[in-house]
A = this chain, B = another copy of it.
Amino acid sequence: MRELDASVHDSLREMHGYMRLAREWDLRFEKMFRTGALSKWYSSVGNEATTVAAACAIEAGDSLLTLHRDSGAILRHYLDIHEILPGLVPQTSSGRKSVGGDSRQRFLRLACQMLGRKHGFSAGHERSYHYNLIEEQHGLIHIGMISHLGSMIPVAAGTAFAFQQQGNHQVALNFIGEGATSTGDFHEALNIASVWKLPFILVIENNRWAFSTPTSQQYACQQLADRGQGYGIPGVQVDGNDPEAVFTVMSSAVDRARSGEGPTLIEAMLGRHRGHSEADDSLDLVPADEQDGYSSQDPLDLVEKKLVDRSTLSVSDLAEIRNRCASLVMVLVDEAMSMPQPDPDLPRRIHAD
């Protein structure tokens, strides 16, 4: 099992940097939703520890497949934080090299994608996180979601299959919500992946609710990690609010995958901080004390407290980091807002030539 980077503090600082960036990203879009500049928003607030830490454990050349609450993983996968926010976190910190290419440009296109702009990755044809970004020269492989839950699990396993077939040692990382574990594709993909020993890691972001449906109406096992046994693979539950814990679990899953031993199922326990989407009232169904419990375990609060407790950063350092992240997001989103809308007359082919 790979250990946390020797400079544990610096690694946590790096994870925190991306988590904060992801948080500011989401807060910005939540605000835009509230002011009517955006018609829908699914928030990643509360998922950052899991998604950032998991993405820290993979490398360039590995594939990432995300859903609607995975901005943390996407930002970690796309961006060199040293390039876009120089000096924000120590250069020495990373256990993982950033992929190459122009991070700022990618970030701007991501904002365009969210806003349906022409320069978004799908040129307005697809919504928010429903797109791919594959830059082979930089080892960047990111395949976005379709709406149908569960459907991307086999596809993710398929990228792992391609790696195995090509004899390289890359791995595939895929996120899903606990609701999607009820789909047939969850089962079919994990079973095949295990039989074929595919280098595949499935991370369940268990935020205890699927739209309005609590886990008690979604499954009846003790924990979803228990499903691992039925596939003959490790099933590990982890505190999804603790990036270090997630990183540790992920790292051993990655090692297992790279060494040809097959998939791992990780269940990261998270809080439900927002409604299903910002446009519905589903949060009303979450009892107040349950909500309070989640708020008190906000992963950003926790990581910041830890950084302060360990004297890695001061409260004012944190404020500065927050401000720099928020400003960068603000600038980029504003820039994206001023970019052109897609051209309705531009033809788009249905078949590849």
Chain A positions near chain B (C-beta within 8 angstroms)? 182-188, 191-192, 194-195, 216-222, 224, 226-227, 229-233, 262
Contacts and interface: CB of A to CB of B under 8 A. Distances in A.
Contacts of A231: 219-221
A261 to B, nearest CB: 11
A212 to B, nearest CB: 15
Contact of A188 (B184, B224, B226, B233): B184
A188 B182 contact: yes
A195 B210 CA distance: 15
A184 B183 CA distance: 7
Contact of A221 (B184, B218, B232): B232
A45 to B, nearest CB: 28
Given A220-B231, A221-B231, A224-B230, 15 more contacts: A184-B185, A184-B187, A184-B188, A187-B187, A187-B188, A194-B221, A195-B218, A220-B232, A221-B230, A222-B229, A226-B229, A227-B227, A227-B229, A229-B230, A230-B230
A256 B311 CA distance: 57
Nearest to A233: B220
Nearest to A186: B187
A221 B233 CA distance: 8
B229 A221 contact: yes
Could you say which of A185, A188, A224 has the most chain B C-beta atoms within 10 Å of its C-beta?
A: A188
Contacts of A230: 221, 224, 226-227, 229-230
Nearest to A150: B184
